[in-house]
Amino acid sequence: MKLGLIGYGKLGKEIERVAVERGWEIAFKQNSNSTTHDIQGSLVDVVIHAATPATLVQDVRLWAELKKPIVIGTTGWYNEIAEVKSLAEKNDIGIIYASNFSIGVQIFFRLLKQAGTMIDKFPDYDAFIREAHHKEKLDAPSGTALQAGAILLDSIKRKKELLTQQTSGKIRPEQLQVSSVRAGAIVGEHAVTIDSPADAIEIRHTAKNRGGFAAGALLAAEWIQGKRGLFTMEDVLADLFKG
């Protein structure tokens, strides 16, 4: 399979490394110096976007018009999701996105859903989210933390609102706090603590390197072949666990 990479930073390089190990061909690498001529002249089977959210829609539009399926690993663009969905439908291609393509993170999400459903029955238990990433990460909270929050809001009915800004005082019972740290070279840490007067439970995912993301993105790139419309990594996992 021939792969096109949009974004060739640390993550793009890791996707390339894992792809080459698995026998994929890197047919195109797009960075800030690439031109439209370069892009139109490339022959790829699928494109993985791991670049800045500022160029996401224009990048998707260009590749969608070339009828290439797209895997979006970039975060911080979700206010434009309707336009991306429209581009997939208009150009009759498949686009898949995730806040985090790591299989471990997807398992983490499923554990959170189950835990949230259980603690919904016990009002003494509260929940909060902490995440940490390297100092160069552009968005905060991370897309992964926001998705974890959305899962908990959906499963813990007494929680109605994510609190993502720093607070210096009491929060309301219906708020679920998400705190972020940006420092050093942390690849990615996400933890949900479920706390009560009697005890505490923690569900944590720690990325040791970017290899897990790369492997999951390639799995998504294989899965999206021949699909039409906008999908998430949850659709891939549903297929894997089907039956």
Give the separation between CA 115 and CA 233, rounded to whole angstroms.
20
Both 127 and 220 in a single domain? no
Domain boundaries, position 80: 2-101+211-240
pLDDT of residue 240: 82
Residues 139-158 have pLDDT tens digits of 899 989 999 999 999 999 99
Both 114 and 200 in a single domain? yes
Both 57 and 79 in a single domain? yes
CB proximity list for 196: less than 8 A, separation 6 or greater: 122, 124, 125, 126
Both 215 and 201 in a single domain? no
Q: Give the pLDDT band of residue 23 (cuts 50, 70, 90).
A: very high
Both 95 and 17 in a single domain? yes
Both 107 and 200 in a single domain? yes
Both 196 and 166 in a single domain? yes
Selecting among 13, 85, 113, 137, the annotated active-site residue is 137
Q: What is the pTM of this model?
A: 0.81
Both 61 and 73 in a single domain? yes
> What would the mean pLDDT of 184-211 be, rounded to a whole number?
96
Which region among 61-65, 83-87, 235-239 has the lowest average model confidence (pLDDT)? 235-239
- Among 73-77, 166-170, 181-185, 236-240, name the most confident range: 181-185
Both 94 and 112 in a single domain? no
* CATH for 202: 3.30.360.10
Both 125 and 172 in a single domain? yes
Both 79 and 44 in a single domain? yes
Q: Are strands 94-97 and 70-72 parallel, antiparallel or unpaired?
A: parallel
Q: Report the domain count for the chain.
A: 2
Selecting among 133, 159, 190, 205, the annotated active-site residue is 133
Cα torsion angle, 233, 236, 241, 243, sign: positive
Residue 137 annotated as catalytic: yes
* CATH for 29: 3.40.50.720
Residues 98-125 have pLDDT tens digits of 988 999 999 999 999 999 999 999 999 9
Residue 13 annotated as catalytic: no
Sheet with 175-182, edge to edge strand ranges: 161-163, 175-182, 126-133, 189-195, 200-206
First to last CA, the chain: 28
Query: Do the beta carbons of residue 96 and residue 71 sit within 8 Å?
Result: yes
Both 215 and 194 in a single domain? no
